[in-house]
Structure 1
Amino acid sequence: MKTLSIVMIVRNEEKVLGRCLESIKNLVDEIIVVDTGSKDTTKEIATSFGAKIYDYEWNDSFSDARNYALEQATSDWNLVLDSDEYLSNESADEIHNFINNNNNTIGRVKRIDKFKDKAGDSFAQTFISRLFPRNLRYKGKIHEQIDSSLPRVKLSVEVQHDGYYNQSRSERNIPLLLHEIKVAPQEAYYHYQIAKEYRGLEKHELSYHHLKQAYSYIDKTTSYYPNTIVDYIYAGMASGELDEILQVINDENNRLSDFADYQFASALYYLEIIMKNTNKYVHLLPEIEICYQKCLQIGETDKYDSVMGTGSFSALHNLGVFYEVTGQTTKAIECYKKAIEYDYKPSLQRLQNY
């Protein structure tokens, strides 16, 4: 039987560290915690779970810190989690079967990110490489990636993440990302990541600028390519760059036809550009219904990193609104009722008007 370590870097995480370690304590053979300067009870909490604790002087490089932590681990395989994450499903058997029957593969877990939007609490899913053999290491100062060409395999291991729900880490992240962009100005990944930081700060023009750069440099085979396009559409709407985005949508329609988030964003975009210049773009009105119908045909899948609801309740609700404002009341009510089956409260509020 192969052994497994959980490997973490932490700093002032007393509010969430216990939750994380509780979720994995019976799954791993060893807990490695590298502390980069905590002033609270983080170390005491880690000690209570039997962790091996090491101090590390922070040098503005996540990969350096993670690699130092990995060097302390003694197991055959490593599982990497952040303290604001925790395992949320019964996955011990799958994890152990995976590490005992694989040597040259990296496991990707499904992380479910909690965030706030106009509708309230929302969730997005993304698959991230977190389970790998002991010899692998990271690269990149921030949004670090495993430096390996080994194939990635999606696992049915779910990790909840709420670290960005009530706080932003852009003050820390943006300077690091700007440094990476200065070093490698044509690296699309860092433009993509910094655009997300600027979006969180509602600096939409800066977000759009960097997504435009990412789009010009990106390799269309990369895993984050579809999400770059979706973010680019939203940034174009937020910054008023609607005409340019229309060409992007036209260029990407075939490639992303099976991505619900893309169809959802396109529907919102068509509405936005029609409202801006009705006479010029009213011919696009049928595309709104078509896009939402495609969302529902695609449904909720694990093919892409996506926002939950774009293939179900959110698409149903927005399609209902479309039908409502275009005078198709019966269809609107039908959509709202279907969305309510997912306990989607905005649809319940709409339905109360009838």
Structure 2
Amino acid sequence: MASLSVCMIVKNEEQWLPKSLESIKNLADEIIIVDTGSTDKTKEIAKTYNAKIFDFKWDDDYADARNFSISKATSDWILWLDADETVSKKDHNYFKQIMKEEKFPIVVLEQRHYTNDKKNPQFKPVDDRYKKEAMGFEGYYPTLITRMFKNNMGLKFEGKVHETIDKSMQKLGLKFLRTDIPIHHYQNFKSDTMTKEKKEKYEKLLKEKENYDPSDLKNLHDLAVTHLQKNDLKKSFSYFRKIYDLDEGLLEPYLGMGIIWAKRGDYKRAIKFFLTAISKDTKKSIELTSPVETIRETILFNLAMCFLRTGEKPKAMQIFKDMIRLGSRFTPQIQDKLKELGISSN
């Protein structure tokens, strides 16, 4: 039977590490813990789970630490996690089946970021299967991410922050299996201070990356999104514009700039950006795990919302009804909006 190494990089995670390790102790054949300078009981906790613990001098580069962690793995497969993440025991057999079949060398999982923020356009209500894992949260928003892969294939992480193996995977010409197996992420349980410090640290590393590699599309996109989340629309727009100047074929800059115009109240200009994006025939996206179809779906939802703002209700209704018919992930938000407008979704 194929073996699995679970690899983690940690620092001062005594609060969350036990729950994370408990969730994978019967799945992992080997647990690799790379500690970047803990001063609490993180290492002591890891020892109780028979983890192999290695020290790593932090160098402001998450990819370096990740690559060090996977270099210590000796199993057939690698699954990488953060200390504030868990895997449901209900899904252990799915992991084992994927490793046994070996149809794909890389597996994309669904990272579920738990939240009660129903205004998030990606908000999904918690399903009955994972009520326990939701820990009281009403819902989550999902992101797809490459989390499991075969060992000894030459895969490397890239990115000082928001590190992935995507570029490495592309260079090696490897295919991946996209699944809906969830990784449960509990970032929103952490204090506002910790969250703020983490975001500031990420932004600093992204800026450093931009200084020596100003044409890295993923890094520019991460910066654009970071400033958009801070509501710094001017800076965010400038980064989306840089992406557009580097590759006009991508949809992400049209989506980002359209959202910014909508936030500024210029819905007609936002609509122009969204319509231009929809008309483009492209299969490219900045992140391999974010398919173009998903980006188009987000554009359509925002386009419909802008049509409502400009009084073009029939156009918005047509988009909404088509999205519901096709089983869009935005269906709950669309149904809420239709209910607000007093319109049946049938």
Q: TM-score range by the shorter chain?
A: 0.7 to 0.9
User: What is the aligned length?
Assistant: 305
Given candidates 126, 130, 140, the residue that maps to 1:123 is 140
Query: Is 1:160 the equivalent of 2:184?
Result: yes
TM-superposed CA distance for 1:122, in Å, is 4.7
Question: Secondary structure at the residue paired with 1:138?
Answer: coil
CA distance in structure 1 between the aligned counterparts of 2:220 and 2:119, rounded to whole angstroms? 28
* Bigger Cα displacement from structure 2, 147-156 vs 252-261: 252-261
CA contact (8 A) 1:181 1:187 kept: yes
**1:86-129 superposed Cα distances (whole Å, 9 cap, x missing partner):** 11362222222222332762111111122453648652222211
Question: Secondary structure at the residue paired with 1:91?
Answer: helix
TM-superposed CA distance for 1:263, in Å, is 2.2
Change (3 A) 1:92 1:56: same
CA distance in structure 1 between the aligned counterparts of 2:8 and 2:55, rounded to whole angstroms? 12
For residues 98-247 of structure 1, the aligned pairs below 5 Å read: 98-102=98-102, 105-115=105-115, 117=117, 119=119, 122-135=139-152, 136-146=155-165, 147-149=168-170, 150-164=174-188, 166=190, 167-168=195-196, 169-218=198-247, 220=249, 229-240=254-265, 242-247=267-272
CA distance in structure 2 between the aligned counterparts of 1:122 and 1:194, rounded to whole angstroms? 26
Q: Which has the higher contact order (CA 8 A, sep 6+)?
A: 2
TM-superposed CA distance for 1:173, in Å, is 0.6
Q: Which has the larger radius of gyration?
A: 1
Change (3 A) 1:99 1:257: closer
For residues 73-88 of structure 1, the aligned pairs below 5 Å read: 73-88=73-88
**Cα RMSD between the aligned structures?**
2.6
Question: Secondary structure at the residue paired with 1:83?
Answer: coil
What residue number does 2:25 align with? 25
What residue number does 1:303 align with? none
CA contact (8 A) 1:34 1:69 kept: yes
Residue identity (%): 27
CA distance in structure 2 between the aligned counterparts of 1:110 and 1:313, rounded to whole angstroms? 19
CA contact (8 A) 2:255 2:274 kept: no
What residue number does 2:65 align with? 65
What residue number does 1:293 align with? 321
Question: Secondary structure at the residue paired with 2:187?
Answer: coil
TM-superposed CA distance for 1:182, in Å, is 2.2
CA distance in structure 2 between the aligned counterparts of 1:189 and 1:131, rounded to whole angstroms? 21
Question: Secondary structure at the residue paired with 1:153?
Answer: strand
Question: Secondary structure at the residue paired with 1:112?
Answer: strand
CA contact (8 A) 1:7 1:81 kept: yes
**1:264-319 superposed Cα distances (whole Å, 9 cap, x missing partner):** 211222334x2xxxxxxx4x33222122222212224xxxxxxx5x1x22101112
CA distance in structure 2 between the aligned counterparts of 1:71 and 1:145, rounded to whole angstroms? 15
CA distance in structure 1 between the aligned counterparts of 2:67 and 2:2, rounded to whole angstroms? 21
Question: Secondary structure at the residue paired with 1:199?
Answer: helix
In structure 1, list runs of 5 or more residues that go unmatched.
275-281, 301-307, 325-331, 339-354
Given candidates 316, 323, 343, the residue that maps to 2:335 is 316
What residue number does 1:46 align with? 46
CA contact (8 A) 2:5 2:77 kept: yes
Query: Is 1:252 the equivalent of 2:273?
Result: no
CA distance in structure 1 between the aligned counterparts of 2:12 and 2:248, rounded to whole angstroms? 37
Change (3 A) 1:133 1:181: same
CA distance in structure 2 between the aligned counterparts of 1:87 and 1:315, rounded to whole angstroms? 30
In structure 2, list runs of 5 or more residues that go unmatched.
121-137, 281-291
